Amino acid sequence: MHYWLLKTEPSELSIDTLAERGDAGACWEGVRNYQARNMLRDQVQLGDKVFIYHSSCAQIGIAGIARVIRSAYPDPSQFDKHSIYFDAASTLEKPRWISVDVCHERTFAEIVSLQALKANPALSDLAVVKKGSRLSVSPVAADEWKAVLKMAGK
């Protein structure tokens, strides 16, 4: 099992919205970066745990935990002409973009802020604390996972 960090703008899909979906979970769609796509396709596995990170918002940071309930499959939004994620160059036979499904596991009592993440020396390698990091999917080491849980309390 591996750990990941998934970025989302809460106005698009927040940890609260994810919680409302319950066991059905949500499709993690709209990843349009090849490096992130490759990780979704090749490495993210059923049962993996992910941190849900809120970006571009009032409270930036890790908001909670979700679990992968369906591994790599073609991102439906690439075929949807009405979606902002529509990609005319992608075909059913050769889909270009990949989704996974995740379901909510836990919302932290308080968001573990980016500031706090940056202040923790144990997390200096976390992609999200690095300047210019734009990957929407990034790996989290087991000890980093534990360190964040500790910061979240309990």
Partner DNA sequence: GCCAACGTTGGC
Q: Which residues bind DNA (CB under 7 A)?
A: 7, 9, 32-35, 55-57, 60, 114-115, 118, 128, 131-136
Shortest distance, position 134 Cβ to DNA, whole Å: 4
Least CB distance from residue 31 to DNA, whole Å? 10
Give dist(CA 37, CA 41) in Å, integer: 6
CA distance 46 to 8: 20
Which 3 state secondary structure label does DSSP give 28? strand
Position 132, amino acid: G
26/117 with CB nearer DNA: 117
- The least CB distance from residue 45 to DNA, in Å, is 23
Which lies closer to DNA via its Cβ, residue 72 or residue 111?
111
CA distance 109 to 112: 9
